[in-house]
Amino acid sequence: MNTRVDVFCTPKGGSKSTECEDAWFVEPDRASSIQRFAIADGATDSVFSGLWARLLVDAFGQNMLDGYDSYDFFDLLSFNQQEWQRKVDRRGNLPWYVEEKAKKGAFSTLLRLTLYDNFYWEAFAVGDSCLFHVRDEKIIERFPLTDSSSFGSSPFLISSKPSSNRGLFNKIHGINYRWMPYDIFYLMTDAVACWFMQSDERGFQPTHLIRDLSQRGFESLIEMLRHENLIRNDDSTIIRVELLDF
Amino acid sequence: MAYTAEISRNSPACIIFLIDQSGSMEDPFGGSEDSQKRKADGVSDATNRLLQNLVIRCAKEDGIRDYFHTAVLGYGDQKVGSAFIGALTGKELVPVSEIGASPARVDERIKEKEDGAGGLIKETVKLPIWFEPVCKGGTPMCAALLKAKELVEGWLAKYPNGFPPIVINITDGEATDGDPSVPAAELRKLASSDGEVLLLNLHLSSQKATPIQFPDNKEGLPDEFAKRLFDMSSLLTPSMRNEAQNEKITTSDNTRGFVFNADMISVIKFLNIGTRPSNLR
């Protein structure tokens, strides 16, 4: 199984690239029989969100799990919650406002895709980062949200504090299906995912627009969409995974 | 749709607090269990907590994002002016980062909270203080609202398309310089392209009546001052009402930004500056 992978990312308009709170993980071995990809979107309304998003994608991107409903998932989550807290505590001498806000923890979405060389794929997600399965320029699967009206400003997210994750188990969505050579998977954070879905709903075939993007082309596209008020101003990330012929 | 303009560093929002520092604030505060607490203590507590929540809302690990510019105008003793003390003395509209960096002092209190395993743990909580209680002289609320109007006009000239300015008046409602409904109505007519200015009122009373948050009618309000402040208050915007729902506060199309003997901290949560997790409390 061979894949071609590209990642495009641009921070929220008016922000520096170091302030971007989206994170991603891509399989380093593109010829591997099992390949994992993960994307996470740290919440604007918490501190050390970017750190939390990176811990999540690295942990869940690198680790094989029995399933998201297994003890493995929650063990891995617990380990990384402690790691987040250790890294925050090491900062020391935080201003009063960061110290108070850090007590509430950080929050992030998480979406992970696993591809198997037996033509199966599976994914799980918490929050509104989305996966699109595209075949012959048509979107054949949208996950976990299925229409653009589902995007809101208050999704349930994974917290770095255990006490804020009550009910998390019921908020994890899963899916599995089959892939074919030349299929493309897109993992997107919410602002660009919402635009992509809306655009498709209106019949504009956005798959053409992002099929052969470069980073510069992506930045220009997002800038144009923001200028036209067609996309919310937010960190925007796309991972594109193309299944090549064997 | 109105009240949907982005609040960001490129397009910040303006929040002006008007705080009653008149002699009548010396009277007891009916909204407190502590019989020693005066309305002036209620005002300074409410203002300090609102600013604390605003700063925390804008805080990131690399600093405070200037999503808001804020003024705090005190009115009493026949004058209206900046109520800041310490490093911010005399300043009117300032970016929220300056407020976060310059409390007059930071108190510490021990608070008990649940440990998630059925027990309680003690936690040190930091409480920044920007204001001390002040109670002297008459209540020039009309002059305060006119001063707020002046600041808002200046703001709208710079940011004509941003989220509309928000004015929060914290008072016991007894104006001594005329009927405040008139300047309140003039203030609320000002607008950006995204909507009219929002005037919210936090009424602190000596009456020990039941606290009320965001009512949609005057029935049940305990006195004429409360009813007048309710009438002066703007309707909550649709997105504020959605956020209120998330905070388990019931609203209707007639709900106004009025609170009686309770806090208004939830208003800070109602402002949309980006993704706010539904499980963040």
DSSP codes, A86-146: HHHHHH-S--HHHHHHHTT--EE-EEEEEEETTSEEEEEEESS-EEEEEETTEEEEEES--
Give me A210's structure tokens: 């992002």
Residue in this structure with the two tokens 């009115």, named with its chain if needed: B75
Where residue A50 falls (left for φ over 0; alpha for ψ -120 to 50; beta otherwise) is: alpha
User: SS3 of A239, please?
Assistant: strand
User: Distance (Å, rounded) from C-alpha B197 to C-alpha A88?
Assistant: 40
Closest C-alpha among B33, B15, B44 to residue B211: B33
Which chain B residues are within 8 Å of A97, Cβ to Cβ? 55-56, 59, 64, 100, 128
pLDDT for residue B276 is more than 90: no
Convert the pLDDT of each residue in B40-88 to its tens digit: 888 888 889 889 999 999 999 999 999 999 999 999 987 899 998 888 9
Instruction: Give the chain A residue nearest B108 (alpha carbons).
Output: A96
pLDDT for residue B269 is more than 90: no
Residue type, B5: A
Which chain B residues are within 8 Å of A227, Cβ to Cβ? none
User: Distance (Å, rounded) from C-alpha B171 to C-alpha B115?
Assistant: 38
Interchain contact, A165 vs B279, CB within 8 Å: yes
Interchain contact, B64 vs A97, CB within 8 Å: yes
Instruction: Determine the pLDDT at residue A124.
Output: 95
Convert the pLDDT of each residue in A30-43 to its tens digit: 999 999 999 999 99
Residue in this structure with the two tokens 């655009």, named with its chain if needed: A199
User: Distance (Å, rounded) from C-alpha B23 to C-alpha A122?
Assistant: 68
Instruction: Determine the pLDDT at residue B114.
Output: 67
CA distances from B114 to B120, B123, B280 (A): 4, 10, 16
Closest C-alpha among A39, A153, A110, A237 to residue B275: A153
pLDDT for residue B268 is more than 90: no
User: Distance (Å, rounded) from C-alpha A3 to C-alpha B196?
Assistant: 53
Residue in this structure with the two tokens 């002046």, named with its chain if needed: B150
Instruction: Determine the pLDDT at residue B135.
Output: 87
Convert the pLDDT of each residue in A190-246 to its tens digit: 999 999 999 999 999 899 999 888 999 999 999 999 999 999 999 999 999 999 976
Convert the pLDDT of each residue in B197-243 to its tens digit: 999 999 988 877 788 889 999 988 888 889 999 999 999 998 888 88
pLDDT for residue B21 is more than 80: yes
- Hey, is the C-beta of A98 within 8 angstroms of any chain B C-beta? yes
Which has more confidence, A222 or B35? A222
Convert the pLDDT of each residue in A78-128 to its tens digit: 999 999 999 999 998 899 999 999 999 999 999 999 999 999 999 999 999
Q: How confident is the model at residue A47 (pLDDT cuts 50, 70, 90)?
A: very high
Residue type, A194: C
> Which residues 151-180 in chain A show a CB within 8 A of chain B?
153-157, 159, 162-167
Whether the bond into A144 is cis, omega within 30 of 0: yes
Convert the pLDDT of each residue in B119-135 to its tens digit: 777 878 888 999 888 88
Interchain contact, A19 vs B125, CB within 8 Å: no
Half-sphere exposure at residue B58, Cβ-oriented, CA atoms within 13 angstroms: 26
